[in-house]
Chain A
Amino acid sequence: MSESSTVDPIPAQAGIGLRMPHHEQVLATRPRAAWFEVHPENFMSNDCALAELERVRANYPLSLHAVGLSLGSAGGVDRAHLERLRQLRGRLAPGLVSDHLSWSTQGGQYLPDLLPLPYSEEALGIVCRNVELVQQALGTAILVENPSTYLRFAASVIPEAEFLAAVARRTGCGVLFDVNNVYVSARNQACDPATVLADWCAVLDPASVGEIHLAGHAIVQAATGEELRIDDHGDHVCQAVWALYEQTVLYFGARPTLIEWDTRLPAFEVLQEEASRAQSCLDGNARRAPAHPARASHRAQATHAGAH
C-alpha cells in the first residue's frame, strides 16, 4: 500500500481486534469482518508482520490503536515514536487512529502499561498539549480512550468524564469510549457502573464519540483480600458490560465497536461470535434510539460522585 492509498472509513459496525496468530487465517480465508484494529507498535519493528498487515488492509478497513504515544507524559510525546506512527499511517491509510488517556514514558524509559493520571488542571494542560502535537504531526484528529483504573490520586480534582470531555473540546480530538473500562474502573472504585455510565453520557458530546471498545476482564483477589477487576482482554465480554453497551449505544448512537481480545486468544470464530453479538446490539438499539435520548435526562441528575 502506498502513501497515496485511499482511507476507508471505519463503518459504524462491529469490528475485531486483529492479533498476529490470526493473520494467516484472515489472509487465507478472508473471513467476514466489518473492519480490523491493530496496535501499530507491533508493526514498527517487524517488517514481516507489516507485509502481512498490508495484505489484510487491501481487503478490510483498518484502525490503528496505539499504546505508546504516552499522551499524559509530562515530558511530552516521544518524537521518534510519533514519526514512526506517522509513517505507518501513511502506508496503511487507517480509518481511525487512537491512543489512551494515560502515560507510559518517563525519562526515556517505556513502561508497557496504561498508567493512570491525576485528573488535575496541570495534567489537563499537558494532555491537551500532547494531543495537539500528535494531531498536528499526523494531520488528523485522533481518538482518546478512557483507561481502566486501579487507583485514584488525591490530586484528581476533575471527574474523569469531564476531564476527557475537556480534552476533546479543547483539542478537537474524538473519544474512544471503552465500556469495559468504565465497568472495571467503577467496580474498582466501589461505584455503581450504571451511575458512572450516566455521568459519562451526561458529560460527553455524543458527536465526539468516534468508537466504542468491548472486552473481557479478569476478577482477582488482592493479597489483602480486596476483589479487583483487571482489564486483561482475556475473556468474553461479561453480561454486565453487554448491558452497559446497550445503554451506551442508546446514548451515543451506533458507533464502530471493537471486540478486543489479547490474552488467552481464542479461535478467530469466537471473536466473530462476539462481534455478531455487538452487531445485533448496534442494529437493534440504533434503530430504536432517538437523537441523544438520555442525554438531557441524565444531565439533570448527573452527579460527579464516584466518577473519576
Chain B
Amino acid sequence: MPAPTDTLNGPPLAALQSQMAAALLAADRDAQALPEDLFAGAHPGAIGLRVHRNTVLGALSNALRSSFRSIEHLVGEAFFDRMAVAYARAKPPQAPQLDAYGADFASFIEGFPATEALPYLADLAHFEWQLDELGRQRPDGVSGAHCMLFDTGVRLHFASSLRLHQSSYPVDRLREAILAEDTDALAVLVHELGRYRYALWRGEEGVKASPLGAAAAEFLGAVLRGAAAEQAISAAAAVGEAEEIAGLLAAEILPAGFLRIEAVAPGTRN
C-alpha cells in the first residue's frame, strides 16, 4: 500500500493523533511537548497544545465536580482538581457522555496522597456516585421490577431503581453536614465509624436515601435478588431477633416510599 502523500510534511494522521493524545494527557513536562516542526502557526505549537490540554483536563474536572459535589466542598476546588486531573490522566473517559464519567473515581481517591486525615473520603464518594447515577434516571414510581407476594394476600411492589448501599460511615449525614458547612456536626460524624446501610432509589421528587438496620437490609437484599417472601424474611431473621422482624420491617421499610402495597384477591396470586 502506498504511503499517504502527506507523510513528507508530518506523520500519518493516526500517528499524529496518537502522539497528540499522549501529550495532552501526560503529567511529565517533557512528555507534554511535541516537536515544534510539526507546527507552522503564528504562535509556537506548545501554546496551542496548552490551550487544548487545559480544555480537556478542565472539562473532565468539571464533569467530576458535578457528580461529586460534597467531595469538592470538603477538599476545596484546587485539591479536587488535583485529584480529578490525576484520575483523568490515569483513566480518561472512553465515551463522550461525560455525566457517566467517574464510576471508579471513588476507588481512585481512596488513599490519595494528603487525604490521610479524611478516612471517610472514598466512602462518601461511593455514596455520592450512587446518588448521581440515580439522579440521571427517570422517576420510576413503585410499579417497577421487584415485587413480592405474601401468603396473607399482600403484594409489595418495589421501585425498580431501588438499590442497597453499605458504608463504614454515616455518609448521608456526612454529606448533609459538608454541603451545609456544618463543621460541628462534621466533627462528630467523622468519628462514627460503623456499619451503615441505606436504601437508595429515584422517587418522583428526586433521589432518596433511607437508613436501614441490618435485618431490613438483609430483607431488601433478598428482594433485589428476586427471593420469595419466605426467603426474604428468613434472610432478615438470620441477622435479627425473629420476633422483631415484622416490627423492624414495618418501621423501616413500609414508610420509606419505595414500595406500594397491593391487596391481592384470592385466585389472582400469580
Show the binding face of A for B, using Cβ within 8 Å. 41-42, 44-51, 67-68, 72-75, 78, 80-81, 84, 103-113, 115-118, 120-123, 126, 149-157, 188-190, 222-224, 226, 228, 230
A112-B41 contact given A45-B100, A118-B10, A222-B47, CB 8 Å threshold: no
A50 partner residues in chain B, CB cutoff 8 A: 138
B20 → A minimal CB distance (Å): 7
Contact A81 B95 (CB under 8 A): yes
Contact B5 A41 (CB under 8 A): no
Partner of B41, one of A45, A122, A152: A152
Contact B136 A46 (CB under 8 A): yes
Show the binding face of B for A, using Cβ within 8 Å. 4-6, 9-10, 12-14, 16-18, 20-21, 24-25, 37-45, 47-52, 55-56, 59-60, 63, 92-100, 135-139
Most buried by A among B17, B96, B97: B96
A44 → B minimal CB distance (Å): 5
A153-B21 contact given A74-B14, A121-B6, A230-B51, CB 8 Å threshold: no
A154 partner residues in chain B, CB cutoff 8 A: 9-10, 37-40
Docked CA distance A173–B135 (Å): 37
Q: Closest residue of chain B to A224, judged by CB?
A: B47
Contact A109 B94 (CB under 8 A): yes
Contact B52 A113 (CB under 8 A): yes
Docked CA distance A48–B206 (Å): 10
Contact B13 A112 (CB under 8 A): no
Contact B21 A109 (CB under 8 A): yes
List 7 additional A-B contacts (Cβ < 8 Å) besides A73-B17, A118-B6: A41-B97, A106-B18, A115-B20, A123-B13, A155-B6, A188-B48, A189-B42
Docked CA distance A291–B4 (Å): 40
Mind listing 6 A-B residue pairs with CB under 8 Å?
A: A42-B97, A110-B96, A152-B39, A154-B40, A188-B48, A224-B47
A41-B20 contact given A74-B13, A151-B49, CB 8 Å threshold: no
A104-B96 contact given A115-B52, A150-B47, CB 8 Å threshold: yes
Partner of A80, one of B9, B59, B95: B95
Docked CA distance A291–B98 (Å): 43
Q: Closest residue of chain A to B139, judged by CB?
A: A48
A112-B96 contact given A73-B17, A118-B10, CB 8 Å threshold: yes
A155-B9 contact given A110-B92, A150-B47, A222-B47, CB 8 Å threshold: yes
A81 partner residues in chain B, CB cutoff 8 A: 95-96
Partner of A150, one of B10, B48, B56, B99: B48
B100 partner residues in chain A, CB cutoff 8 A: 45
Contact A112 B12 (CB under 8 A): no
Contact B97 A109 (CB under 8 A): no
A223 partner residues in chain B, CB cutoff 8 A: 50
Contact A150 B14 (CB under 8 A): no
Most buried by B among A75, A118, A189, A230: A118
A68 partner residues in chain B, CB cutoff 8 A: 95-97
A46-B99 contact given A103-B17, A111-B56, CB 8 Å threshold: yes
Q: Closest residue of chain B to A104, judged by CB?
A: B96
Contact B6 A228 (CB under 8 A): no
Docked CA distance A218–B37 (Å): 28
